[in-house]
Amino acid sequence: MATERTAAHTPEREAFYERISVGNLAPLWERLHALVTPQPVTPVQPAIWHYRNVRPHLMHAGELISAEEATRRVLILENPGLKGQTSITHSLFAGLQLILPGEVAPAHRHSQSALRFIIEGDGAYTAVDGERTTMHPGDFVITPSWTWHDHGNESQQPMVWLDGLDIPIVRLLDASFAEPGDTASQAITRPEGDNAARFTNNLLPVDWKPMVKTSPVFNYPYARSRASLEVLSRSEDPDACHGHKLRYVSPATGDFAMPTIGAFIQLLPDGFATRPYRSTDATVFVVVEGSGQTWVGDQVFGWEPHDIFVVPSWTSVSHQAAGEAILFSYSDRPVQEKLGLWREQRGNI
């Protein structure tokens, strides 16, 4: 069906198409080849944002507008192939958020699910449904759909993190709701660490049943993730396409930590070069540690800590680390897997 030739154009057919367009009708045979393609076709382009270049703009934004006035002081990482669409891939949003010392990003809630990956600073907090968690570089923090959340910085240094949201997915489904809070900071009803005590260390409350598909854990500390990768690197050979790679999961189900966004962390050994790999989930990468380069299709990106780059759907990617390196990444893989759409190809691309 997808490989059928386009029907020839004739004056009679063109006149017919013009007549039916008045009634909001169109011939599928004229569009089928572009709708049902032999393999993924995307306007998403490979792109990289070097943090050393973006950071000055982010700090200048901090001088121009307050976190309270902006609601969320974020610089969007917009894919060059999706100008004006406020997205880094067809399905995901990415942006860098700045909270200066003493500031609060006021409480609100929305249908969209969000992740925070901490880039710079130490000791600011995010609060989710009555509990605060202190954030440190490399932490993976979740704000589930329709949960009250605010952010504050009680430290003496700027705090920057990457925001990753499923805004385009929710927009596609016309399912967006949002509500501001009554106060800038929500009431804290549980002590910090309550969430971790209940749901980590291979423990769950005895009668607890998951009510939503998002993980009950909302902060995955980098120290633990880094330690796990270190053990793997000493005990097994690296995967040819990924090095040592782990995915963040819900302790309640073993499924992805978020229903619409899959998050991953991987260690590339010193000097390790991965074999070419591609998959249908366009992926956003953040460099946590180390330096190296990545080939994305016919482009090559050199990277260092805090740089962010995107790999489009079904585009070959391979990494080479100059020394030991750590990469965090996120994609829409959970959605694709549940719909039976996700595919991968390893090597020999």
From 210, 187, 188, select the one nearest 198 (Cα to Cα): 210
- Find out whether 289 and 325 touch, Cβ atoms under 8 Å: yes
Q: Which residues pair with 108 in a beta bridge?
A: 149, 180
pTM for this prediction: 0.95
Confidence (pLDDT) at 4: 61
b/e 91-121 (16+ beta carbons within 10 angstroms → b): bbbbbbbbbbeebbbbbebbbbbbbbbbbbb
b/e 42-73 (16+ beta carbons within 10 angstroms → b): bebebbbbbbeebbeebeeebeeeebeebeeb
Domains of the chain, by residue range, sit at 1-38, 47-346
**Distance (Å, rounded) from C-alpha 38 to C-alpha 51?**
37
Confidence (pLDDT) at 2: 46
Written as tens digits, the pLDDT of the chain (349 aa) is 445 677 899 999 999 999 999 999 999 999 999 999 999 999 999 999 999 999 999 999 999 999 999 999 999 999 999 999 999 999 999 999 999 999 999 999 999 999 999 999 999 999 999 999 999 999 999 999 999 999 999 999 999 999 999 999 999 999 999 999 999 899 999 999 999 999 998 889 999 888 888 999 999 999 999 999 999 999 999 999 999 999 999 999 999 999 999 999 999 999 999 999 999 999 999 999 999 999 999 999 999 999 999 999 999 999 999 999 999 999 999 999 999 999 999 987 7
> The tokens of 64 are what?
């121009």
Instruction: Give the CA angle between residues 235, 241, 242 to the nearest 5°.
Output: 55
Confidence (pLDDT) at 285: 99
> The tokens of 19 are what?
């007549």
Q: What is the CATH number of domain 47-346?
A: 2.60.120.10
